[in-house]
Chain A
């Protein structure tokens, strides 16, 4: 059974304090790993897709990386507007449904 585990559950940061979120996965064959951002009371919004180990993608203060067992979402010099829940999800070659982790809730204080 595919498993996706995110850590930590919650992260409180001071503005400008860089940190990383972890998404570890156990799947039979990874086709893609997805990162989403979710603001309170809203649906998740797509951030990145990573397909192979060693791949990196960046968007503003966010950078996602992928290894064979896990992905990291690095937040560099965060601002209060980066406060959100970050979800990762995996897609395998034998399924077209995403399997989601429980998310990491990030709070950035000014």
Chain B
């Protein structure tokens, strides 16, 4: 069964901490994505990557950075966590051009910043 695995289901961090969210996929997908999901706002794209060491900003990159050193791993970094970054974070992957079934999503990480 193909999978996108996010390292933590729930995280609680303090304001100002540096936070790492990890995502690993086992499908040999080129494209990987990070979204945040908030009630009433839907999924908003933070960053995406279409190849190792490549990254592009999405719609809301401020306060975030990413790292993709290996094809299967895409990390989201909150440089200095703030309370307005409390959210559900979703990682996804896809084939080039996205493919017939679109994205495969991880189970999400519920991050609370206090």
Residues of chain A with a CB closer than 8 A to B103's CB? 44, 46, 98
For residue A81, CB closer than 8 A to chain B, the reply is no
Least CB distance from A43 to B in Å reads 3
Q: Contacts of B33 on A, CB cut-off 8 Å? A: 97
* Total B residues in contact with A, Cβ cutoff 8 Å: 27
Q: Looking at the complex, which of A11-19, A62-70, A99-107 is the stretch in contact with chain B?
A: A99-107
How far does the alpha carbon of A104 sit from the alpha carbon of B2 in the complex, in Å? 27
Tell me, in angstroms, the Cα distance from A98 to B100 when the chains sit together.
12
Number of A residues, CB within 8 Å of B: 21
B97 touches A102 (CB 8 A): no
A-B interface contact total, Cβ < 8 Å: 56
Query: Per a CB cutoff under 8 Å, which of B31, B106, B110 touches A41?
Result: B110
Could you tell me if A101 and B42 are in contact, using CB atoms closer than 8 angstroms?
yes
Asked whether B104 is an interface residue with its Cβ less than 8 Å from the other chain, the reply is: yes
| Residue contacts A-B, CB under 8 angstroms, 30 given | A32-B100, A34-B101, A34-B102, A36-B102, A41-B110, A42-B108, A43-B4, A43-B105, A43-B108, A44-B103, A46-B102, A46-B103, A49-B100, A49-B102, A87-B43, A91-B98, A91-B102, A96-B31, A96-B50, A96-B96, A96-B97, A97-B33, A97-B98, A98-B98, A98-B102, A98-B103, A100-B42, A102-B41, A102-B42, A103-B42
